[in-house]
Amino acid sequence: MTKQDEIMKESEMQILRPFGPSIGKIKIPQKLIETLNNYADKIIDDEKKSRELDWGKNLAGNVRQEFRLEEDFVKKSGWLDFLAQAVQNWIKNSQNQKITSFHVMNSWIIRQFKNEYNPIHWHSGHVSGVGYLKVPENLGKSSQEIKGDNTNGCLELIHGSRMFLSQSKLTIKPEVGIFYLFPNYLMHSVYPFIDSDEERRSISFNAKIDDGIFNVYTS
């Protein structure tokens, strides 16, 4: 072993993540996915209910339909329990703090079809998230793919500016059952997709947690 090898052995590399918000990633149980899709299908088939629960005027998306989940359903379906536990784990693993307060302000379904999109925006509350209930088999080819990248139908999370050793965005290809958690202020966007008449169905929420945990300026 050379002297340089000895130095490197004693100086093992560690990767730290001291900057930028953490993103939580978790899988929605299959039974809950089915419950959410069945509920959404019933709302879609009921024109009166669809109008009553329409949430599009409160959101940024240029998409076919967006409707909020009824509070009673959120509680009885297990969706509230899932979100509460997911956020609890995310905050605990991110900064070793235990939340004691969790209040869902609203949760909604987004129905996106080809050529529709969601412009860059952010949410209210303290914490937010998005997961996928239906994803088209084919999101279409990119006309000018760069290094094999194809952002059709993808979610893009954006923070800060791209600099040396610091990326400014995270591109996520939707996958049924995968749910992402992020702080409300994190800017994000959804790209349109093409060549498919299938629905891209996602679910989101806004919630508040302990103000003492969220508001870092009081600590």
- DSSP secondary structure letters along 20-89: S---EEEEPPHHHHHHHHHHHHHHHH-HHHHHHTB-GGGS--BSSEEEEPPHHHHHHTSHHHHHHHHHHH
Token pair for residue 53?
Answer: 């629960």
28/32 Cα distance (integer angstroms)? 7
Regarding pTM above 0.85, the answer is yes
Q: What integer pLDDT is reported at residue 7 of this predicted model?
A: 46
Asked if 114 and 128 count as a contact pair (C-beta separation under 8 A), the reply is: no
Strands lying side by side in the sheet with 24-27: 24-27, 178-183, 127-134, 200-209, 102-112, 65-68
Contacts of 113 (CB under 8 A, 6+ apart): 63, 64, 197, 198, 199, 200
Determine the pLDDT at residue 16. Answer: 65
Q: What is the pLDDT of residues 10-56, one digit of tens each?
A: 556 666 677 789 999 999 999 999 999 999 999 999 999 999 999 99
Q: What is the DSSP letter of 117?
A: B
Model confidence over 141-199: pLDDT tens digits?
A: 877 655 567 899 999 999 988 899 888 999 999 999 999 999 999 999 999 999 899 99
Tens digit of each residue's pLDDT (9 = 90 or more) over 117-133: 999 999 999 999 999 99
Distance of alpha carbon 164 from alpha carbon 12, whole angstroms: 22
Q: Which top CATH class is 19-139+150-211?
A: mainly beta
For the chain, what are the domain ranges? 19-139+150-211
Per-residue pLDDT tens digits for 55-83: 998 888 899 999 999 999 999 999 999 99
Q: ∠ CA 10-14-17 to the nearest 5 degrees? A: 160
CB-CB contact of 159 with 165 (8 Å)? no
For residues 97, 32, 178, 56, the Cα torsion angle rounded to the nearest 10 degrees is -90
For residue 20 the two structure tokens come to: 């930028």
pLDDT of residue 167: 87
pLDDT at 8: 45
Pick the range with the lowest mean pLDDT from 90-94, 163-167, 208-212.
163-167
Strands, sheet with 187-190, edge to edge from the N-terminal-most edge strand: 118-121, 187-190, 155-158, 169-172
Tokens 């669809």 identify what position?
50
pLDDT at 99 over 80: yes
Q: Nearest CA to 202 among 169, 177, 171?
A: 177
